[in-house]
Amino acid sequence: MNRSRILHNLAAALTMGAVVAGAAEPKIIALPPFLVEEPAQPLPWRHAEVAGWEVLSTCPERLTRALIANHHRLQELLAELLPPSLQLKMSGGHTLIFVDSAHQPPSSREVVARMALTAAEQDKLDAAIEPIDDGRLRRRPPPPRYAFLPNLRLWDRDGSVLFAVVEESKFDPNRVALTADYVGYILQQRLPALPPWFISGVLTLFSRSEFTERELTLGPLDWPLEIGSAALLPGPESNRALLPLAEFFAGDLSSADTGTDRAMSLWQAQAALFVHWGVAGRGAPRREALGKFVERAAVEPLTEALFQECFGLDFATAQAQLTAHLPEAQSERLELRPERTRLPDYTLRPATDVEIARLKGDWERLEISYVKAQFPVLTSKYAEQARRTLMRAYDRGHRDPRLLAVIGLCEVDAGDDAAARRFLEEAAAGGEILRPRAAFELARLRFAALRGPGSDTGARLGTAQLDEVLAPLLAARAQQPPLAEVYELIADVWTASSQQPTSTQLAVLEEGVRLFPHHSELVSRTAELSLRHGFTDTARWLINLGLTLAPDEAQRTRFEALQARIKESNPPNRE
């Protein structure tokens, strides 16, 4: 059973379907927040940096501090189940934007009107409404109602922003929890990739969890009925309730005494049981071992020797302990309570023009892609709003490199590469290290200029040109998270270079392959470069990897052609 199938089945099991209104109900168009701010009446933005998060808030100071403290509490509770070392890390940063509900226009239609939609654009927005056919006549349904999502988290490849509209009189910390979507994202996007059984186990446990003021409580586990009852039998029959650990970790369901769907249910239940066993017990005696085991299993072959090194147990002993733990996990709630730590001291002060433009503009930039996918007719309105926010500070003479990088990314997302390069080059000239995605986009635009219309596309890149493109790529590589496109562009650059790469330089691409083994294009490009420059041993293992993981026949044929080239030419190995 492969990783993609496991995660696909898991996502299907945990995803909740949307509720569809009846045919006669007016359609609700749920738009992302569109916060229009008048220059003559700016909102009272406050700013803070605390515990790795940047905060921008229009809420009163007391409420803002309560929101920050509550967010910190939720992260600490989550860490009891999912240690920070196993979460997605992002050099681009995490931002929290809190907006006092008093600053929101009271009518959603008022906000739509302030977008200055033309009649044609309004018609397109309403056009998704299907005519009602009641068997006698077709009639136009009621006009749509517009709602603006009060809470929304959007992700870029190197950062995230949470936007929340808060009504002080209704804020109750005990009614706020992290979402399964959030936990799933920081698990599935973490690199090196976590083992599928760990992702499945954590998400299953989290789906049955409850946040309280000081605890994360995990509800009792469900278990396939017939299989679960076997665990209660005395003697060796009880061990039949579980897959052998070697098969379980490998995702091999062949020994399960049941059909495919039941075998998958057993595997998912056992994944939850294993993580439960790892974090349970007075003082959580296995939690540290579990974290070490998962972290190493992400980069090493998962063997019984590795398991024994981390847990001090062989598979048979651990299997017996898991079987013994199953009745407890099925019947009891598990309370995870972190040691109380003090929220780090921080300063909450009025935000500067640059901070407002950068953080609010970055949020509005992320909305562009969301709207482009959901409501294409509104894309230009959201892009204009993001540009207004960002350029207000730029036009006042502010040249903060982080602001310039966000402006550059905004232009990329809006489809204007020429403007994007101008701002990204200006940001790079500021001397600060660019966030990973900004560094990648700058390199991409530099490379496109060297290879695009008006350039000699047949010419090889010289040393200076090579350095010009590689410099931001290597800077992005040194940050979190690793980006597959960075390594793919490095391969493109070396393919177009007149300079022969060394084994050390090509080892950077091998690093990318180990991080992204399922990116067949990266694997094949790295194998081809290794073969072209005489590193045949490296090319062989890359080709074998590609043949093993090729997603389709076309990719497999490509790797077979590379394999044939090795057999035909048998070049001297430079390694």
- C-alpha dist (Å) from residue 314 to 89, 246, 310: 32, 11, 10
* Token reading at 391: 């350029």
pLDDT value at residue 8: 47
Q: Which pLDDT band holds residue 200 (cuts at 50, 70, 90)?
A: very high
State the pLDDT at residue 116.
75
Q: What is the mean pLDDT of the chain?
A: 87
Number of H helices, E strands in the chain: 23, 13
Evaluate if residue 493 carries a pLDDT over 70.
yes
For residue 249, give both structure tokens: 């970790």
Which pLDDT value is given to residue 420?
A: 98
Residues 6+ apart with CB under 8 A from 6: 196, 197, 200, 251, 267
CA 122 to mean position of chain CA atoms? 33
- Half-sphere exposure (Cβ direction) of 505: Cα atoms closer than 13 Å: 18
Whole-number Å distance between alpha carbons of 171 and 277: 35
pLDDT for residue 304 is more than 80: yes
Residue linked to tokens 């019947």:
331
Return the C-alpha torsion angle 559, 563, 568, 570, nearest 10. Answer: 130
Q: How far apart are the first and last CA of the chain?
A: 35
- Measured CA to CA, the distance from residue 222 to residue 444 in angstroms comes to 49
CA triple 280-287-313, angle to 5 deg: 90
Question: Would you say residue 262 has pLDDT above 70?
Answer: yes
Q: What is the mean pLDDT of residues 347-359?
A: 97
Q: Of 273-287, 455-469, 476-490, which gets the smallest average pLDDT?
A: 455-469
Match 């392959």 to its residue by tokens. 513
* Maximal C-alpha separation, the chain: 80
3-state secondary structure of 152: strand
Q: How far apart are CA 157 and CA 93, in angstroms?
A: 11
- With a CB cutoff of 8 Å and minimum separation 6, the contacts of 406 are 358, 361, 362, 365, 390, 438
User: Could you identify the residue written with the tokens 């894309």?
Assistant: 379
pLDDT tens-place string over residues 207-222: 999 998 889 999 999 9
* pLDDT above 80 (res 397): yes
461 neighbors 496 (Cβ within 8 angstroms): yes
CA 244 – CA 315 distance, rounded (Å):
8
- Can you tell me the mean pLDDT for 325-350? 93
102-109: Cβ within 8 A, 24+ apart? 103/35, 103/43, 103/58, 104/35, 104/148, 104/165, 105/36, 108/31, 108/145, 108/146, 108/147, 108/148, 109/146
Task: Check if the beta carbon of residue 48 is closer than 8 Å to that of residue 343.
Answer: no
- 8 A C-beta contact, residue 514 and residue 549: no
For the segment 223-234, the average pLDDT, to the nearest whole number, is: 56
DSSP character at residue 85: G
Instruction: Specify the domain boundaries for CATH 1.25.40 within the chain.
Output: 500-575
147 vs 1: CA distance, rounded Å = 42
Q: Percentage of residues in the chain with pLDDT exceeding 70?
A: 85
Average pLDDT over residues 52-66: 96
Report pLDDT for 257. Answer: 62
Residue 338, phi then psi, degrees to nearest 5:
-75, 160
CATH architecture assignment, domain 500-575: Alpha Horseshoe (1.25)
Residue 69 in tokens: 């403290």
Band of the pLDDT at 239, cuts 50, 70, 90? very low
pLDDT tens-digit profile of 124-181?
777 655 554 445 545 555 666 677 788 999 999 999 999 999 999 999 988 889 999 9
Q: What percent of the chain lies above the pLDDT cut of 90?
A: 70
pLDDT category of residue 538 using cuts at 50, 70 and 90: very high
Q: Is the model's pLDDT at 256 over the cut of 70?
A: no
* 386-421 as b/e: b if 16+ CB within 10 A: bbebbebbbeeeeebbbbbbbbbbbbbbbeebebbb
pLDDT given at position 457: 60
Q: Which helix (H) or strand (E) holds 97?
A: strand 94-100
Phi-psi region of 95 (alpha: psi -120 to 50; beta: other; left: phi over 0): beta
27, two tokens: 């359609």
Q: What Cα–Cα distance (Å) separates residue 438 from each residue in 156, 433, 467, 477? A: 11, 10, 17, 12
- pLDDT tens-digit series, residues 419-446: 999 999 999 999 889 999 999 999 999 9
500 pLDDT higher than 50: yes
Q: Is 253 helix (H, G, I), strand (E, B) or coil?
A: coil
CA distance 563 to 549: 15
542, 507 contact by CB (below 8 A): no
Is residue 358 within 8 Å of 401, Cβ to Cβ?
A: no
- Whether pLDDT at 101 is above 70: yes
Name the 3-class secondary structure at 312. Answer: coil
Using alpha carbons, list the distances in angstroms from residue 288 to 103, 209, 231.
Answer: 46, 21, 27
